[in-house]
Amino acid sequence: MLEVPLWLWGAFAATVVVSLAVDLLSHRTAHVIGFKEAASWSGLWVGLALIFGAVVFLVLGTTAGTEYTTAWLLEKSLSVDNLFVFAVIFAYFKVPRAYQHRVLFFGVIGALVFRGIFLSLGVAVVSRFTAVLFAFAAVLFYSTYKLLKDEEESFDPGKSFAVRMLRKIIPVRDEYAGAKFFVREGGKRMATPLLAVVAAIEAADLIFAVDSVPAVLAVSDDAFIVYTSNAFAILGLRALYFMLAGLLDRFHYLSKGLAIILAFIGVKLILQASHKMISPSIPEIPSPVSLAVIVVVLTGSVLLSIRRPTPLGVPEQADGQDADAAERPSSAAEVDDPEPPAGSPDQGL
């Protein structure tokens, strides 16, 4: 395990907290986020991740820095699948576009907490039971099979465990109430559909953690490397969604690229476990090689998608959301004000 200075952990925590605070204050007034704004924020998150990576290189050495960069890029690439699920959830619940950032903001906070728990458990298990790496490899190979065969399990947001539990804990009204998560009706506290959307987002992240956690543990088994890389990738997920909304289906070869990456990481896990358990003569795949493979495969799948577009055009997701908005019941449409005035009650919980 790396000897990480306490101040570096503190710098990471301070960066995350300050960044989230600035993000929240910058979006305190609900509004539709356009491409230009999303691209600016995405550039900011990528810049922060790379700057922190440079600090890791300088403080912890080349190996740690390479592992951090590889893990961050791996998580960033795997998180593309999350973007498709976000689109499905927003369409299912007919979430007004002005309030989608608020949902994803709280979804990110939950993801940071849950990923921290899962990664800590994963590091602890791997450090004690190396054989579990073979099980992790099997999970990644199964995910590869589903991606290559287009057998991704459908995700029904309304039937997810988190949403069903929420409805048992507190009544959920049918209409939105601006950006509020809770309202009072007849003296009774009720949740709005916006809270159910957050629950669905968290449930989706738990599903994707099944692939993400084993994959990142193949890159490094150090808690600092795996968590900081995951955190910076997750922080930039919202901006990436709004920047690519409507373009996701055009990168149709990306799923194949992700399948290749998962298969490669699965092989890396097997070699890593075999090196430790069977014989030191069995080679391991160095982190620089892993980084190069991820960059080449991602770049290749994106370029191939651009050069060979699908024969049938796919309507942009944003247009589909507008159509959904037009079909919303009037009771929900009445509170769908894309730009409520500053200080409006909609800004509360």
Could you read off the pLDDT of 263-279 as tens digits, one per residue? 988 898 899 889 888 88
- Length of the chain in terms of residues written: 349
Q: Which amino acid is at 276?
A: K
Q: Over pLDDT 90: what percentage of the chain?
A: 17
pLDDT given for residue 140 in this prediction = 85
Q: What is the pLDDT of residues 328-342, one digit of tens each?
A: 433 333 334 444 444
CA-angle at 87, arms to 142 and 183, nearest 5° = 120
Neighbouring residues of 174: CB distance < 8 A, sequence distance ≥ 6? 193, 329, 331, 332
The two three-digit tokens of residue 156, written as one number: 């029904």
- What sign results for the dihedral spanned by CA atoms 91, 181, 34, 160? negative
Kindly indicate the confidence band of residue 154, based on its pLDDT and cuts at 50, 70 and 90: low
Q: State pLDDT tens for residues 73-90.
A: 988 888 777 777 788 888
Residues 30 and 98: beta-carbon distance below 8 Å:
yes
188-191 vs 182-185, strand pairing mode = antiparallel
Q: Tell me how far apart the alpha carbons of residues 307 and 125 are, in angstroms, rounded to a whole number.
A: 44
Q: Does residue 113 contact residue 195 with C-beta atoms inside 8 Å? A: no
Burial of 123 (0-12, 13-18, 19+ CB in 10 A): buried
Q: Return the closest-CA partner of residue 191 out of 202, 180, 204, 178.
A: 180
How many contiguous H segments (helices) and E segments (strands) does the chain have? Answer: 14, 2
The DSSP line for 1-59 is -----HHHHHHHHHHHHHHHHHHHHHTSS-----HHHHHHHHHHHHHHHHHHHHHHHHH
Token look-up 């994106």 returns 302
Residue 283, SS3 per DSSP: coil
Return d(Cα 121, Cα 228) in angstroms, integer.
15
Q: Are 4 and 226 in contact (CB under 8 A)?
A: no
Q: Taking the model in full, what pTM does it have?
A: 0.75
**How is 67-128 classified by DSSP, letter by letter?**
HHHHHHHHHHHHTHHHHHHHHHHHHHHT--GGGHHHHHHHHHHHHHHHHHHHHHHHHHHHHH
Per the CB < 8 A criterion, the answer to whether 320 and 91 are in contact is: yes
Q: Could you read off the pLDDT of 24-64 as tens digits, one per residue?
A: 888 778 788 888 888 888 899 999 999 999 999 999 999 99
Residue type, 274: S
Residue 180, SS3 per DSSP: coil
Q: Is the pLDDT of residue 96 over 90?
A: no
